Amino acid sequence: MPTTYYTDGSTLLNSTSIFIDAGLTTCADDGFYSDGTNSREQVNCVLLPSQVCGTCAVACGDPISAGGSQGIYLVSLDLGSDTGAVIITFNPASIPDGIRVTYNSGTYNKLSSPVDGYHASTNANNYTFVGSAGSDCGISGTTYPALTEFDYNGSSFVATGNTQSVTVAAGDVSLGVAPGNCVMVVPKISATPTLLQVAVVGPCGSTAWTIDVQCAELLTSYSSGASSWGNVNDACSDVLVASYYNAPVTGTAGSPGIHDFVFLDAYGEQALANGWYKFTGGVMNVLNGVVIETGACP
C-alpha cells in the first residue's frame, strides 16, 4: 500500500519539510522524495534544494561564474563514473556567500582557504559563509524568508520561479579577509551515484563568485609517520612507514603545504587525526584535517 506524505507547502518545490501526518507534527525520514518530476532530499526535517536528472546536469571539469542579485544559486553536475576525490574550488570574492554541497545523501561544507585556512559551519548540514568581514551585510542571525532560486542551465543562471527560506546561524559565518580560491573535497568511492549538487546563497544585495568542480581523481600519496604526536620532537623520532594523501591548497600533489587537506585514503574520505606528523618534507601539524603548520626536525 502506498505511503501518504504531507508537505507544509502547496507543492514539493515550495515546501520546507515533509511529514507523515496531516497535522504536520511528525517529520518523514531522511531521504529523497519526488513528485514525479522534481526530487528533493530531506535532512533533519529540512528539504534541500530540488535536483534535476543526471542527464540534464552539466559535466564536471569546467569553471562556472555567477553574478547577480540576492538569491540562492543551484548547480547540478554529472561526475561520470570515475572514482576518487572530487576537488571543488570556490572563490566568493569579498561579498559573503554561503556554500553547501550534497552528494550521495551526504552534505559537505568544509573549506580551506590559501589565505587563512579552515572554514566550516559548526552544523554539518548548514551553509558555510565565507568572504570579507568588511563586506558583511549583517548576515549572522538573519532569516531570509524568500530568496529567489536560480538554476544553472549550462550557460547562465535562470530564475526557477521558486523561493527558499534560509536562516544564517552564528556558527555558519566564517568571515575574515577575502579568502581566495577555497578548496572542498567530496569523496566519490563508487561509479554511482553521479549527480552532485552545489547550492550557493548570496544573502547580500548582490553576489559574484566562481566555482570549479573537477571530476573525481585519486589523490597522490606522500610518505609519513603512521601516528600523530603531541609535539614536534616525538613526531621527528617517527619513521616514514605510512602513505597518506593530500588535496593541495598551497602545496602540490604528493607534497603537502600549509592549509592543505590531508587524508588516510586516496578518496578524501577519512581525514587525518589532529596532531604532529613526520613526512617527507619535515613535520606538519594537523587540525580539523588541515595542515596548520609545517617545520623542519631539530
Listed residues 213, 236, 268: the one ending a domain: 213
pLDDT in tens, 138-173: 999 999 999 999 999 888 999 988 899 999 999 999
CB 197 within 8 A of CB 74: yes
Whether 158 maps to a domain, the answer reads yes
Asked whether residue 39 falls in the same domain as residue 59, the answer is no
Asked whether residue 230 falls in the same domain as residue 110, the answer is no
CB 88 within 8 A of CB 250: no
Q: State the pLDDT at residue 10.
A: 87
CB 273 within 8 A of CB 286: yes
Q: State the pLDDT at residue 55.
A: 44
Confidence bin at 22 (pLDDT 50/70/90): very high
Number of domain units in the chain? 3
Whether 1 maps to a domain, the answer reads no
Asked whether residue 243 falls in the same domain as residue 205, the answer is no
Whether 135 maps to a domain, the answer reads yes
Asked whether residue 208 falls in the same domain as residue 61, the answer is yes
Q: State the pLDDT at residue 114.
A: 98
Listed residues 182, 213, 244: the one ending a domain: 213
Whether 183 maps to a domain, the answer reads yes
Q: What is the pTM of this model?
A: 0.83
What mean pLDDT value characterizes the chain? Answer: 93
Q: Between these two residues, 24 and 55, which has the higher pLDDT value?
A: 24
Asked whether residue 208 falls in the same domain as residue 288, the answer is no
What's the first-to-final CA gap in the chain, in angstroms? 70
Measure CA 208 to chain center. 18
Cell of 183: 578548496
With a cut of 90, say whether residue 41 has pLDDT above it.
no
pLDDT in tens, 192-243: 999 999 999 999 999 999 999 999 999 999 999 999 999 999 999 999 999 9
**Residue type at 175 in one-letter notation:** L
**What residue numbers bound the domain in which 270 lies?**
220-295
Asked whether residue 187 falls in the same domain as residue 276, the answer is no
Give the Cα separation of 205 and 67 in Å (integer): 11
Give the Cα separation of 149 and 202 in Å (integer): 10
Asked whether residue 205 falls in the same domain as residue 59, the answer is yes
Asked whether residue 280 falls in the same domain as residue 246, the answer is yes
Listed residues 190, 213, 236: the one ending a domain: 213
Asked whether residue 205 falls in the same domain as residue 93, the answer is yes
Q: Which residues lie closer than 8 Å to 46 by C-beta, 6 or more apart?
A: 16, 17, 125
Asked whether residue 43 falls in the same domain as residue 102, the answer is no
Asked whether residue 282 falls in the same domain as residue 239, the answer is yes
Q: State the pLDDT at residue 54.
A: 43
Whether 255 maps to a domain, the answer reads yes
pLDDT in tens, 67-109: 999 999 999 999 999 999 999 999 999 999 999 999 998 999 9
CATH of the domain at 196: 2.60.120
Give the Cα separation of 168 and 123 in Å (integer): 11
Asked whether residue 209 falls in the same domain as residue 226, the answer is no
